[in-house]
């Protein structure tokens, strides 16, 4: 069980870091507040993974180092993150792509984004955002933001 979890986390981190590339990230003295996170409203393509985009009023969002905390959940009614579910923590700018290997067995996940400046100022950078996978038609799945 533990080796499977470690393999999952290692694979996920490797894929996410590859998708981020070499971004010129820097720490800011200002707290960037994320108002929402969006996805493509089209059929999910497992070859491309799921791209999440942070939305903020701050124009420097895509150059800031943000910490993305992603928690897959075992069912669509879950609200509690259990110790047994893997947690992924990635530093990236305003967008990340989660590979299919990290999502294929999970019907729901939560995302929380923070910036170092927000932590230093004891402010929340974003609320928890939940996404659920829903079947549309016979061969299409779409990741929807839950509660919208």
Q: Which domain holds residue 22?
A: 2-145
CB atoms within 10 A of CB 115: 25
* 35 token code pair: 């108002």
User: Structure tokens of 129?
Assistant: 């955002």
Is the pLDDT at 37 greater than 50? The verdict is yes
| Count of domains for the chain | 1
Q: What pLDDT is recorded for position 79?
A: 63
Distances 124 to 11, 24, 65, 116, 127 between C-alpha atoms, Å: 29, 24, 15, 10, 7
The pLDDT, as a whole number, for residue 9 is: 44
In the predicted model, is pLDDT for residue 80 greater than 90? Answer: no
**Under 8 Å between Cβ of 28 and 56:** no
Is the pLDDT confidence value at 62 over 90? no
Instruction: Tell me what pLDDT residue 33 has.
Output: 78
pTM for the whole structure: 0.72
Report yes or no: 52 and 20 within 8 Å, Cβ to Cβ: no
Of residues 144 and 15, the one with the higher pLDDT is: 144
User: Tens digits of per-residue pLDDT, 6-25?
Assistant: 444 444 444 443 444 333 44
- Least Cα distance to 66 among 129, 131, 20, 12 occurs for 20
């Amino acid at each position: 069980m533990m080796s499977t979890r470690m393999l999952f986390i290692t694979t996920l981190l490797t894929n996410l870091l590859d998708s981020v590339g070499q971004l010129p990230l820097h720490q800011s003295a200002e707290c960037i507040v994320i108002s929402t996170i969006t996805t493509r409203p089209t059929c999910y393509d497992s070859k491309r993974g799921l791209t999440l985009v942070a939305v903020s009023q701050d124009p420097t969002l895509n150059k800031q180092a943000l910490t993305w905390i992603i928690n897959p959940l075992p069912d669509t009614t879950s609200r509690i993150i259990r110790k047994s579910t893997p947690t992924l923590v990635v530093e990236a700018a305003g967008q990340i792509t989660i590979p299919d290997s990290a999502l294929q067995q999970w019907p729901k996940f939560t995302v929380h984004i923070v910036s170092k400046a927000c932590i230093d100022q004891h402010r929340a950078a974003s609320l928890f955002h939940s996404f659920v996978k829903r079947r549309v038609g016979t061969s299409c799945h779409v990741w929807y933001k839950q509660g919208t």
